[in-house]
């Protein structure tokens, strides 16, 4: 077994053990009698429901769920121990349900780890909460809203941070990617998550303290309806994008390459973009840009596009119009506005000798530079399928193509992109080779 897999397994076991110890300790501490079982049951279902139905805002990869606010309400009213028992079992159950149908051993493995991860995070959060002087209703005494705001924010922050650290470490051990890089990537979505979760937790606590269980409904109902609206949006946006990209790909199919080329460019651009840590809102659209980058060639006389020999100046001028034409076409597509400058810039060069605008180094959108490299590389290697290759040139080997990319660094290609690209290609080689 590879050493990194072993390290990952050890790590998982340690977290699971810690979670189990805390859980058993809490069970012993609380004892057999739970007060107010009906309300606890309501909380159990609430957490269960919210955990089952996270929402994803368009343009992000972060799932937001109302679990944390519900947990905060439970924590305030019943104290850390009961909160832990109820919420951990609820999350365990919800995780089992969402992953049902998978092999049972794998299932238990993953779900136990996730739950343990959660238990450790909330335990750390609860300790921090007490440290900064926060109280709970169960702990006796009058808990006022104003006195709990600050400690609650600390609670959510501590919980989120611990969760992020555990998650990043496991991901880093598993994927062998550098910890720091993953941390930076994760920060991108943990921060907005916290910005949403923190205040909504406070709101939840406020409504709970003021209106009891009704207060919970006040948050949950709008949340679930809002989730419906966002899902509707996501579904329609997907339908829209699928229509435009599929039709666009079939329209370009004939010229100048095959569909396989466009799909590979899209896939490579996506991976390189991820490796470079492009923002989620860019990553969401970079595949579309890869698929549609040559849409400007649609409708252009194919005698020019297919010409094997020397092109006249007029013919070159026609060819050089295609990025701008593509951008013009895409600017009419309401939800693809973001990719317009990327498509327009996919033949620009850092040395300023590209077209159509002759942009220089810093003015070329990074996404355009990514597509340029992916496009050039795939055009050189021609992809794995022989029927896919351009007819008028024998494909280069991988090493030859890599040499070409290296040769063009700083003049034709963006150095940052080439660096990331070579890593992606090397990794793919390694995976397919070994």
Partner 1 sequence: MADSFWFSPAFLAAAALTLGAVCYSYFYLPAQMRRAYRQSLLTLARAVETKDTGSEGHGERVAEYVVAVAREMRLSAKERQKMGYAAFLQDIGNVRVPHAILNKPNNLKREEFDIVKTHAVMGADMVEHVKFLRDISPIIRHHHESWDGSGYPDQLTGNAIPLGARILAVCTTYDSMVHARAYRPQLDEETAIREVRAGAGAKYDPEVVNSFLRILKRRHRN
Encoding tokens for residue 319?
A: 């060819």
Is 246 an interacting residue with respect to partner 1 (CB under 8 A)? yes
Quick one: 189 or 254, whose CB is closer to partner 1? 254
Q: Is 172 exposed, middle or buried (0-12, 13-18, 19+ CB in 10 A)?
A: buried
Task: Decide if residue 191 touches partner 1 (CB under 8 A).
Answer: no
Q: How many residues contact partner 1, by CB under 8 A?
A: 40
The one segment of 112-120, 149-157, 212-220, 275-283 that binds partner 1 by CB under 8 A? 212-220
Helix ranges (H only) for 321-408 are 322-330, 340-344, 366-381, 398-407
Query: In angstroms, what is the minimal distance from the CB of 218 to partner 1?
Result: 4
Residue 236 touches partner 1, criterion: CB under 8 A = yes
210 touches partner 1 (CB under 8 A): yes
Using the contact rule CB under 8 A, the part of the chain among 17-25, 81-89, 121-129, 206-214 near partner 1 is 206-214
* Pure H helices in 212-321: 213-252, 259-275, 280-292, 302-305, 313-320
Q: Is 62 left (phi over 0), alpha (psi -120 to 50) or beta?
A: beta
In the bound state with partner 1, the residue whose beta carbon lies nearer, of 127 and 233, is: 233
- From the CB of 329, what's the least distance to partner 1, in Å? 5
φ/ψ region of 133 (left if φ > 0, alpha if ψ in -120 to 50, else beta) reads left
Cβ(64)–Cβ(193) under 8 Å? Answer: yes
Which of 10, 45, 127, 250 touches partner 1 by CB under 8 A? 250
Window of 103-111, 310-318, 328-336, 395-403 that interacts with partner 1 by CB under 8 A: 328-336
- Asked whether position 329 contacts partner 1 by CB under 8 A, the answer is yes
Q: Which CB atom, from 93 or from 217, has the smaller least distance to partner 1?
A: 217
The separation between the first and the last C-alpha atoms of the chain, rounded to the nearest angstrom, is 14
Counting contacts by CB under 8 A, is residue 337 touching partner 1? no
Helix (H, G, I), strand (E, B) or coil at 56: strand
Length of the chain counted residue by residue: 434
Q: Shortest distance, CB of residue 301 to partner 1, whole angstroms?
A: 4
Q: Which residue of 334, 392, 399, 430 would you call a contact of partner 1, by CB under 8 A? A: 334
Shortest gap between Cβ of 245 and partner 1 (angstroms)?
A: 9
Smallest gap from Cβ 224 to partner 1, in A, equals 9
Q: Please say whether the beta carbons of 189 and 54 come within 8 A.
A: no
Find the binder of partner 1 among 17, 21, 150, 221 (CB under 8 A): 221
Closer to partner 1 by CB, 137 or 305: give it: 305
Report the 10 Å Cβ neighbour count for 332: 9
Q: Report the alpha-carbon distance of residue 359 to residue 410 in Å, rounded.
A: 13
Per rule CB under 8 A, is residue 247 in the interface with partner 1? yes
Closest approach of partner 1 to the CB of residue 326, in Å = 9
Distances (CA, A) of 122 to 5, 213, 335: 27, 22, 39
Among positions 51-90, residues that touch partner 1 (CB under 8 A) are none
Smallest gap from Cβ 150 to partner 1, in A, equals 22
Helices (H) and strands (E) in the chain, counts: 16, 2
Give CA–CA dist 153/265, Å, rounded: 44
Q: How many CA atoms lie within 13 A of 200 on its CB side?
A: 20
362/341 Cα distance (integer angstroms): 14
**Secondary structure letter of residue 245 according to DSSP:** H
User: With CB under 8 A as the contact rule, which of the stretches 26-34, 110-118, 220-228, 369-377 interacts with partner 1?
Assistant: 220-228
Question: Rounded distance, CA 385 to CA 224, Å?
Answer: 47
Which neighbouring-strand residues pair with 430? none
**Considering beta carbons, is residue 15 or 339 the nearer one to partner 1?**
339
From 78-86, 244-252, 342-350, 420-428, give the range in contact with partner 1 by CB under 8 A.
244-252
Binding residues for partner 1, per CB under 8 A? 207, 210-211, 214-215, 218-219, 221-222, 225-226, 228-229, 232-233, 236-237, 239-240, 242-244, 246-248, 250-251, 254, 295, 298-303, 329, 332-335
């Amino acid at each position: 077994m590879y050493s990194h897999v072993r390290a990952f397994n050890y790590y998982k076991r340690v977290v699971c053990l810690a979670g189990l110890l805390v859980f058993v300790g809490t069970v012993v501490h609380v004892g057999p009698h739970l007060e107010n079982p009906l309300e606890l049951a309501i909380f159990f279902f609430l957490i269960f429901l919210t955990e089952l139905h996270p929402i994803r805002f368009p343009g992000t990869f972060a799932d937001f769920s109302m679990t944390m606010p519900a947990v905060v309400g439970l924590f305030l009213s019943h104290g850390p121990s009961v909160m832990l028992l109820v919420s951990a079992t609820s999350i365990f159950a919800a995780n089992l349900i969402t992953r049902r149908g998978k092999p049972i051993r794998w299932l238990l493995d993953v779900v136990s780890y996730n739950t343990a991860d959660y238990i450790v995070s909330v335990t750390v959060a609860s300790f921090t909460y007490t440290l900064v002087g926060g109280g709970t209703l169960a702990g006796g005494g009058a808990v006022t809203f104003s006195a709990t705001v600050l400690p609650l924010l600390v609670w959510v922050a501590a919980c989120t941070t611990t969760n992020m650290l555990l998650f990043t470490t496991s991901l880093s051990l598993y994927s062998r990617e550098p910890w720091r890089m993953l941390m930076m990537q994760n920060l991108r979505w943990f921060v907005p998550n916290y910005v949403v979760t923190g205040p909504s937790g406070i709101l939840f606590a406020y409504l709970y303290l003021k209106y009891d269980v009704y207060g919970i409904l006040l948050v949950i109902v709008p949340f679930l309806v809002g989730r419906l609206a966002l899902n509707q949006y996501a579904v329609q946006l997907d339908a829209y994008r699928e229509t435009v990209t599929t039709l666009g790909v079939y329209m370009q199919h004939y010229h100048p390459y095959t569909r396989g080329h466009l799909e590979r460019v899209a896939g490579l651009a996506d991976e390189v973009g991820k490796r470079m840590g492009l923002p989620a809102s860019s990553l969401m659209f970079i595949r579309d840009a890869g698929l549609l980058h040559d849409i400007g060639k649609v409708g252009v006389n194919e005698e020019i596009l297919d010409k094997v020999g020397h092109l006249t100046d007029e013919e070159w001028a026609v060819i050089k119009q295609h990025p701008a034409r593509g951008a013009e076409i895409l600017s009419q597509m309401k939800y693809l506005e973001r990719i317009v400058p990327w498509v327009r810039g996919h033949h620009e060069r850092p040395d300023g000798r590209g077209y159509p605008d002759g942009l220089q180094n810093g003015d070329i959108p990074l996404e355009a530079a990514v597509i340029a490299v992916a496009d050039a590389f795939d055009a050189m290697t021609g992809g794995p399928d022989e029927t896919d290759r351009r007819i008028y040139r024998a494909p280069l080997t991988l090493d030859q193509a890599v040499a070409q990319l290296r040769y063009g660094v700083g003049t034709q290609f963006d150095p940052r992109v080439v660096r990331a690209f070579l890593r992606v290609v090397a990794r793919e080689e390694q995976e397919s080779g070994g």
